[in-house]
Every structure is written in C-alpha cells, then in structure tokens.
Chains A and B, each alone.
Chain A
C-alpha cells in the first residue's frame, strides 16, 4: 500500500523500487494509541501519504507501512493505527506488544484525551522493558490553538517526567509531522537498532507488483516486436 511516498525533509529520500542497493532495510513496529477522535488515523495517513482526509472512526485496527531512508539504513515502519473506542481495548495489547515505537496521541483542545493518554502511558510502562521501545507523546490539533486546554508546558512536563519524546503536531496543516517521523526513526535506530536482535531485517518477498503486472502476461513479448 503506502510505497509511493512523498518527500521527507532532513536528509531522507524517496523510496523507489530501484533504490535497494546495499543499504539494509529494518522493520520497525510502530503503534499509535489514544482516545477516539484525537487524530490517530489522520496522523498515520500523514505519515504514509502526507494527505489529510476526515476519516470515519477506525474499525478495529488499520495497518499501514512507510519506508524512511536514513543515511546508512532504511527503516520500514509498520504502523498499527488502533481504534480509540473502548470496545476495542481488549484487543489493543496485540498491537503494542513488541512495538519498537509507541505514539500516544491526545487532542490539545480536550482535557479528557490528555487524561486518557496518561492511562495509556501507564499501561505501556507495565508492558515494557526500558530501552526496547521509543515512546512518544503527541499533542495533536495544534491548529486549534485558541481552544487549547493543555498547554505546551504541561505536555512537555508529562513527557520529561517519563523521559518521553514530545511534540505538538497538526495533522490538518501537516505541521511537525515529518519532523516527528524522522525524530522517531533516528531514535529507534540509535536506541534499538544497535541492540542484538533489536530490529529484524526486512526481506521483500517476491510478491505482486500491480504496476508491473504486464511482465507476467504471456503477450508481454509481443509488445517488443515491431518498429
């Protein structure tokens, strides 16, 4: 799905099928958590396609991928965009178990989502061995500054208490999105990439490529005949 990618500033490059080279590709499992309606799916969509759409509520969980090129390694983010609705909470551990990066998102204009974010952080801390996961607190809807209920300082304070990565974003305007993704990519690679058995290598299975399906047809060679 998300292999055709928009630009990424800060030294990252576009991924294309030809760009395999000797650079290793490592798999990074990333999970996005938070209350309903804070913009988790929109954040994921920004990561993957740099688009904004007002989506319907996520059903269960959505899986998206995004490849990020760092100077000496390629990271393939496997993003689990979870549903914020309470009825799906029982299955959420499936997605955050073994995640290398966990994003906890809240809406800066809604205090209850910030409270809920703290509950998520507590739950994550129960699960994690320090150093195996990069955790990140994201205050979304930066564009709603005039309705703000959580100050930047408050978010920052919570994050530094728990030594988390913190940022405020706006999925509507796209502000700070690629910075966030790159920040996570660097951190994940630095913290976990070096560890023994930290990140597994991505092997492209010889699967279909819809854009090149002509090569499969028995008539493909006919096209080469002629002037």
Chain B
C-alpha cells in the first residue's frame, strides 16, 4: 500500500502489481475449473456440473445445490446460474491482493468505515431532495458533490462518455484527472483499484477501451461497486458490441463515443436505479410471476411450439417478472444478459406502439455480435411482453409469425385466462408464510438462478425505506461474499429491524424481522420458511423449463 498525499486529503491508494493479475488467470485456464472461461469462445454458456464433490461437505445435507426448494430439474436449467463468486471471478485475483493489503492496514479501514457510516446518514437526507435528477445540474455545486453514488465512464484517451449526474462536457477536466490517475499507476506497471478517502470510495474498472469509475458514499464494498460498474460496462457493450467498440477506438483514439450512445443514456440511468433497488441484480438471479405450474407449463409448451430455425431464446415477461423462458438446446442465457433485456424492455415505451425489432448484443453470451430481438406486448394494454431472440437480422417476419402462432395456441387454452388472472397479483404478502415477526425476505435457489421475495410490508412503503432495506441486504451480501473472510451466516440486530442471512451450497437467504424478534426465533423461522417455499415452489419457480 502506498500512501499518497494529494493536497489536504490523504489518499490510501490500493494498487496491485500488474504481473500478479495475469498469472492467476493463466492458472485458471489450465487447472482447476474452466468455469471462469466457460466456453465463451464459441458463444455458448453451458453450466458446469454444480454437484461436484467439493460441495459434498455442506453442513446442511438436503439443502445442497440441486435439492434446495426452487431447484429446477438438474438436466434442465434454463439460465446459466453462476454464483456471485463466479461472476466476479475476473476481478477475484485482484480482489485477493486487495484483501491482503486490507489485512495489513486493518485498523485504518475500520476507521474509514466509521466515517462512511456517519456520512451515509447525512447523505441519505441530501439525496432525497436532489433525487429529481437533472442533467443540467451544476457540477461544482454542493448538491452534485453529495450524490450518494456517482458513475463515470470515459475512454482511454480520457474523453467523457457518461456521467450519472451533470453533463459530460462540464466534467471533462474531472475525467481527465481520473484518466491521469489510471495512467500514472499504470506507468509503474500497477493497476489502480480504489481510493478510500473522506468517507468516499473511488473504484476503478479498466475494461479496455473503456474506463469506468464509481464514486460512492455508501457502505458497499469495493467488490460490490465493481460489480455495478461491470453491469454498466455490459450495458454499453450490449448496445454496440465489444468488437465495434474496439474497432472504433483502434481507428480513432479520441473518438467521442457519446455520438453512438446518444439517446440511450436513459438505459444506463435506469440500470443504475435498478442496481439500487432490484434484489435480482444483487443476487444474480431473476424472479418469476407466481403462477400455477399447470398454467405455466401450458404457456411454456405453447412458446416451445412456436419455434423457428434461427430462434435462440423466447422470453415471456410480466413487467419485471419472468413468466417463462424457452431456449435452444445447449444454449443458456446468463442472468446479466437477462437483466439487460429486462432493463431495455422496462425502460422503453416504444415497444408498446408496434412490434419492435432491434439488434442487441448479449455480452455474457458473446461480446462480438448482435442478436436480433423481436419485442412486443401480447395485447396493447397488457403487461405481458414477448421477446424472441434470433440470430438473423432479416428474420423479422419469421419472428412476427412465431408470435402469432404462440398467441393463437395460447388463446385457445384456459391457461391464458389463468395467466391474466395471475397478473393481477404479481406478488404475495409475507403474512402468507405465517411467521409473525418476519417482515420480508429474499430467497435464491442457486441451481436455478431464480429468487423469490414477498412484496414490501407497510413499514417499507416509501421509496427511501425500500432503498434502505435494500442497502441492508447489500451489506449482508457483502459480508457473506467477502473475498477472504466469507461468512456462512450472519445475524444482526438493529434499532429498526433484525436481519439474518444464511448461505449454503444450495441457496442464499436473507430475512428481515421486526426489532422485537430474537435470534432463536429467527433461526426457527428459517426452517418454517424453507418448508413454506418448498410447498409453494411449483408456483414461485420455474421447475421444468423447456427447450425447442
């Protein structure tokens, strides 16, 4: 660790030698698991066998991966369910270095944490008033400085590409400084990871040809912040493909990428908003519309029957919830790609007026090329949106025909009516579980990559309260997935709620209790909740996903 002094503020600069970054990744390639590199090359994402021997030492037999409530049939996983560790594997080795440094300056971090804690309370108050975001806001103002989380994207030439708040033009010198920091450390054959100062964390993610910088006053760990920056990176790639990005910057180093991203900033804005609020992005999972399995099966088989030569994925959404997903055999959709699709559909009203047809890159599938997605709502005022992903850009009429065939088949069945009924109650109340002190929970089945969660109870009705609860879950998540000291379970008492988090090889569970609940009650609630989820799993999860 180096301690640099920049003006009045002392910065702790976390750096790691460049060589250390490349070495472990080589080790991954030839040894242990090809998981990190899962057939990326040929564009498929076959899941690795999850029931490997290393899992056998699970402390909770019966709750191991593949047998937990909500687990799909082993042969038929439909999303490529990666754990958080797999997801961040690329940054893992760097994070390990980071953690070593962390140990060496233990007390220092603790001190900083306290600072961060104090700061956030203050910030939350500020952010509420300034949440009415305006691009025009003055970047030298106190209000701009006090946003909880800034995100900047720049090119390697230091040209601004995106800022969450304010305008890129006004920030060109700030982004110039960011690039200078990156280059300065790089010149010494090092990589800048993060800067911790004054209750603020500055996290750097270099993804050539882009550099992403997050500035956060939240308690999130560097790893969590990096994960969010990765999402932003993938969002940009999904619009342009990495091939095109590389091509552009090889051709013209100081190209202004805003030209190509013009009109799509709202996608990044919305994704950042989702990252603060959507448990799916935190858990690396998606949630389903609760629907009787008999109805879901009919919907799935109708979708399965409407196939075409170049059709790879058929996805039926109800708002932010998955109704069903049918995929080509041996092709898997990564949850990040699925979240990017959710974000695209959820952010744009333009698909309501006609049938949409758009090139889309699914970066976790293949960063090099575009798929072509047919996006349309089943009925004009309906929440049900069908996304048909094809490999052929001239396939519009084939896809349109697939949609018609699906609708024709579906509308003959009573399942369509059941589906429309289910839309009226897309969530459920936690009271159904029957645990008095339980207020809310998140349960993720690891093998299916699906999670379930009840609606927010009355105490968490306001946006601020919901975001605060999400912040608490994020905190627990950080602890469970700590790079060097991961926890299996964690119980935390607070003034406003008590929280319990538990992770096994099969699931991840986060529970929120009223402050009056006890630890003993919380522990006994887990069993009860798991039994309830097992009982309801037919309705809450997709247990038998289909392929064409």
Contact = CB atoms under 8 A, between A and B. Distances in A.
A157 interface: no
B407 A210 contact: yes
A58 B344 CA distance: 11
A91 B359 contact: yes
Given A56-B349, A87-B264, A217 B394 contact: no
A62 B260 contact: no
B412 A36 contact: no
Contact of A60 (B357, B394, B412): B357
A59 interface: yes
B31 interface: no
A146 to B, nearest CB: 23
Interface residues of B, number: 38
A61 B263 contact: no
Contacts of A53: 349, 353
Contacts of A60: 356-360, 373
A135 B462 CA distance: 53
B262 interface: yes
A59 B348 contact: yes
A59 B349 CA distance: 10
A206 to B, nearest CB: 9
Interface in A63-96: 63-64, 79, 81, 83-88, 91, 94
Chain A interface size, under 10 / 10 to 19 / 20 to 34 / 35 or more: 35 or more
B22 interface: no
Interface stretch (A40-48, A110-118, A169-177, A186-194): A40-48
A59 B356 contact: yes
B349 A55 contact: yes
B356 A61 contact: yes
A210 B400 CA distance: 16
Contacts of A207: 404-405, 408
Contact of B355 (A55, A62, A83, A210): A62
B240 interface: yes
A1 B404 contact: no
Interface string A1-43: 1100000000000000000000000000000000010000100
B109 interface: no
Contacts of A86: 259-260, 262
B351 to A, nearest CB: 7
Interface string B308-321: 00000000000000
Contact of A94 (B259, B344, B393): B393
B359 A1 contact: no
A152 to B, nearest CB: 28
Q: Interface of chain B, helix or strand or loop or mixed?
A: mixed
B353 A55 contact: yes
Interface centre among A45, A86, A208, A213 (most CB of B within 10 A): A208
Contacts of B380: 1
A207 B409 CA distance: 10
B412 A58 contact: no
Contact of A44 (B263, B353, B373): B353
A17 B431 CA distance: 49
Given A59-B348, A63-B396, A213-B411, A87 B239 contact: yes
Contacts of A213: 411-412
A1 B377 CA distance: 10
Nearest to B259: A86
Interface string B254-270: 00000111111010000
Nearest to B262: A85
A131 interface: no
A129 to B, nearest CB: 21
A63 B412 contact: no
Contacts of A58: 350, 356
A85 B264 contact: yes
Nearest to B355: A63
B379 interface: yes
B263 A36 contact: yes
Contacts of A48: 353-354
A208 B404 CA distance: 7
B44 interface: no
B344 A59 contact: yes
Nearest to B377: A1
Nearest to B408: A208
A81 B354 contact: yes
B83 interface: no
Interface string B37-71: 00000000000000000000000000000000000
B411 A63 contact: no
Contacts of B348: 56-57, 59
Contacts of B405: 207
A199 B411 CA distance: 33
Given A87-B261, A208-B411, A59 B358 contact: yes
Contacts of B351: 59, 62
Contacts of A63: 354-357, 396, 400
Contacts of A84: 263
B347 interface: yes
B353 A45 contact: yes
A85 B263 contact: yes
Nearest to B353: A45
Contacts of A64: 353-355
B350 A56 contact: yes
Contacts of B264: 57, 85, 87
A45 B351 CA distance: 12
Nearest to B350: A58
Interface string B517-547: 0000000000000000000000000000000
Contacts of B356: 58-63
Interface in B358-414: 358-360, 373, 375-376, 379-380, 393-394, 396, 400, 404-405, 407-408, 411-412
Given A1-B355, A88-B359, A91-B393, A57 B350 contact: yes
Given A55-B350, A60-B357, 17 more contacts: A1-B355, A44-B353, A48-B353, A53-B353, A55-B353, A59-B350, A59-B351, A60-B359, A61-B357, A62-B350, A62-B356, A83-B263, A84-B263, A87-B262, A208-B404, A208-B407, A210-B411
Q: 10 closest pairs, A vs B, by CB?
A: A60-B358, A64-B354, A208-B408, A62-B354, A85-B263, A57-B263, A63-B355, A213-B411, A87-B260, A216-B412
25 contacts: A36-B262, A36-B263, A41-B353, A44-B354, A55-B349, A56-B347, A57-B263, A57-B348, A58-B356, A59-B350, A59-B375, A60-B356, A60-B360, A62-B354, A62-B356, A63-B355, A63-B356, A64-B354, A81-B354, A87-B240, A87-B264, A88-B359, A94-B393, A94-B394, A208-B408
